[in-house]
Amino acid sequence: MRTVALWGPSASGKTALLAQLYLRFPSAATAWRIFPTTKTQPFIEEMRSLMVDRSQFPLGTRIEQEKQIAYEFEHLKTHQRVLLFTEDRAGVVSERLDDSDVERFARADGLIILIDKTGRPNYESEILRALEHFYHSARSGGSSVDSRPLAFCLAKSDRFIKTAADLARTIHQPDEFVIERLPTDFVGWINQYCPNRRFFPISAVGVQGKFGAVRPTVFYDESMLLRLTNHGSPINLMVPFEWLFQQLEHKEGSA
């Protein structure tokens, strides 16, 4: 079974993405099915109670709450199976990237990398540091590049969507939408380390689009608790995963 790993720095939205990927899985619009592993089931139940029943946004993961999260995907027609794994860890721990972390991500057949620009002045160095570690560990057979498919996802992209035109571009021109919002040098470094890459804007909560207007789906209540309206549509929730799965299928077919 092929494996795909998800990595993101502190507070980049991993918990919400992992939860919504299952809770809001767009089964009618994809050729894939998704199943949580036994170890993931408690996480799903916790997030369903929090996000669906109480309309609360998950807080950042604390060290004592760290857990392994894994989903199994199966293609409806080909029965191709892919395992998505990550560790829902305190972000500061994820950023340390000790040798065991690097090796685990280097063994994955593909990677989802979250890019969080919101209030993060050092987001570029965080991502590049991770790529350098993955690059050195993943190279094999004397190859000068990491040829695995890597999906770079602009997390919390709902914050960059102001108009209906912006929303349309996240769907129809995802690469351009993200690249326009990243420094040119940063994109150049990514291209150097990752020749087989795509950019995707994603949002676990999405926005509300109605009558040509775009509205946010999260708000603070009277207690300053972040809540969800549950009326929005997540943005590109499954799209980067489908791209990765397709890349892996092509690679397997040409082997």
Question: Which has the closest alpha carbon to 18: 55, 53, 58?
Answer: 58
Residues whose CB falls within 8 Å of the CB of residue 49, separated by 6 or more in sequence, listed in order = none
Query: In whole angstroms, what is the distance from residue 25 CA to residue 152 CA?
Result: 20
Give 112's strand partners: 6, 151
Strands 218-220 and 150-154 come out as: unpaired
Q: Over the stretch 172-217, which tens digit does the pLDDT of each residue have?
A: 999 999 999 999 999 999 998 888 999 999 999 999 887 778 888 8
From residue 14, alpha-carbon distances to 2, 25, 180 in Å are 21, 16, 23
Report the predicted TM-score, pTM, of the whole model to 2 decimal places.
0.89
Strands 197-201 and 150-154 come out as: parallel
Q: What are the structural domains of the chain?
A: 2-254 (3.40.50.300)
SS3 235: strand
Residues whose CB falls within 8 Å of the CB of residue 95, separated by 6 or more in sequence, listed in order = 9, 10, 126
SS3 23: helix
Q: What pLDDT, on a 0 to 100 scale, did the predictor assign at position 93? A: 45
Q: What pLDDT, on a 0 to 100 scale, did the predictor assign at position 199? A: 98
Residues of the chain with pLDDT under 50: 63-64, 92-94
The length of the chain, given as a count of residues:
255
26 membership: H or E segment, kind and range: none
Query: In whole angstroms, what is the distance from residue 152 CA to residue 202 CA?
Result: 10
Q: What pLDDT, on a 0 to 100 scale, did the predictor assign at position 198? A: 97
Q: What pLDDT, on a 0 to 100 scale, did the predictor assign at position 255? A: 54
